[in-house]
Amino acid sequence: MIRVALPGAILVIWAVCALVGPMLAGDPNHIELQRILASPGPEGWLGFDDLGRPVWQRLVVGAQTSFLVAAMVVTVTAVLGAVIGTASGFVGGWIDHLLVRVIDIFMAFPGILLAIALAGVLGPGINNVVIALSVVGWVGFARLARAQVLSLKHREHVQAALALGVRRTRIVLRHLLPLIVAPLIVEGTFAVAGAVIAEAGLSFLGLGVQPPAASWGSMIRDGTRYMLMAPHMVLAPGLALMMVVLGVNLLGDRLRDWMDVRNR
């Protein structure tokens, strides 16, 4: 129970900060020159940055940025990848061979490098980050969906439905998709962690959200110049990023073990 409660609590805090926090945290861009690089204290829980802005408020807004990007990217990639993978595995033939070659081409490039190249071409901004990460993120879902469909389409209930003349669309919706949802959900949890890391990396490179908007990656980038004088500028977003990714991965592991009937 504790193994599930801890990552679940981390994700709940992340979601609450993302959805409600910005309305309660105040103005993250409020500048107080007399508090530039001030350490954490009663005036500011996590201190202030190089412009005198409160790190806590900016950390909460950064949580909203990472949450929205992860939610949009995983939703788009999961739907797109599941449709492509299911169609490829169920139809077969030259369509399957073509889609497999396309997947292999995407797999040949490191995902983060391809996302950086796309973000550089499209330009900075949160919408372009979502597009860039979605273009490279559907491959994992497509491969998983195709593998699951290839193992399920020869089952007796699918063959019986085909023999009875049931439409292929109905077979996919009623007999295949319900059986591949569980592994796709598990894949989605790990995709969330990957999207959070990727968004932070793109923002760190200046290809994500632009100032004065806050992102954990851009906060870490701004804090690297003052690590000796104000380490809290790097530690706060760095620890938040680590905790969220760790919580998502742990929850994904627990979810995978729970859905595996061999462990019951």
pLDDT band of residue 264 (cuts 50, 70, 90) is low
pLDDT band of residue 125 (cuts 50, 70, 90) is confident
- Mean per-residue pLDDT for 107-130? 85
Measure the CA–CA gap between 54 and 24, rounded to whole angstroms.
14
Residue keyed to tokens 């490829």: 88
Question: What is the reported pLDDT for 70?
Answer: 93
CA atoms within 13 A on the CB side of 20: 5
pLDDT band of residue 79 (cuts 50, 70, 90) is very high
Question: What is the reported pLDDT for 29?
Answer: 83
Of 82, 74, 39, nearest in space to 230 by CA: 39
- The least confident of 199-203, 223-227, 256-260 is 256-260
Q: Are 48 and 55 within 8 A, CB to CB?
A: yes
Count CB atoms within 10 A of the CB of residue 172: 20
pLDDT at 19 over 90: no
Q: Which whole-number Å values give the CA distances from 9 to 16, 247, 248, in the listed order?
A: 10, 8, 11
152: burial class by Cβ within 10 Å (0-12, 13-18, 19+)? middle
- Mean per-residue pLDDT for 44-58? 88
34-48: pLDDT as tens digits: 888 888 888 878 888
Question: What is the reported pLDDT for 263?
Answer: 56
- Mean per-residue pLDDT for 93-101? 88
Measure the CA–CA gap between 222 and 211, rounded to whole angstroms.
11
Q: What domains sit in the chain, N to C, each tagged with a CATH number? A: 2-34+45-263 (1.10.3720.10)
- Mean per-residue pLDDT for 93-120? 86
Helix axes 177-204, 111-122, angle to 10 degrees: 60
Question: What is the reported pLDDT for 173?
Answer: 81
- Mean per-residue pLDDT for 47-60? 89
Question: What is the reported pLDDT for 191?
Answer: 92
Question: What is the reported pLDDT for 77?
Answer: 94
pLDDT band of residue 74 (cuts 50, 70, 90) is very high
Count CB atoms within 10 A of the CB of residue 165: 6
Q: Are 12 and 201 within 8 A, CB to CB?
A: no
Q: Are 218 and 209 within 8 A, CB to CB?
A: yes
Question: What is the reported pLDDT for 11?
Answer: 87
CA atoms within 13 A on the CB side of 196: 28
Measure the CA–CA gap between 212 and 208, rounded to whole angstroms.
12
The pTM of this model reads 0.87
- The least confident of 74-83, 162-171, 176-185 is 162-171
Peptide bond into 211 cis (omega under 30): no
Higher pLDDT, 32 or 74: 74
List of residues 6+ apart from 197 with CB closer than 8 A: 241, 245
pLDDT at 172 over 60: yes
- Mean per-residue pLDDT for 6-19? 84
- The least confident of 11-25, 184-198, 214-228, 241-255 is 11-25
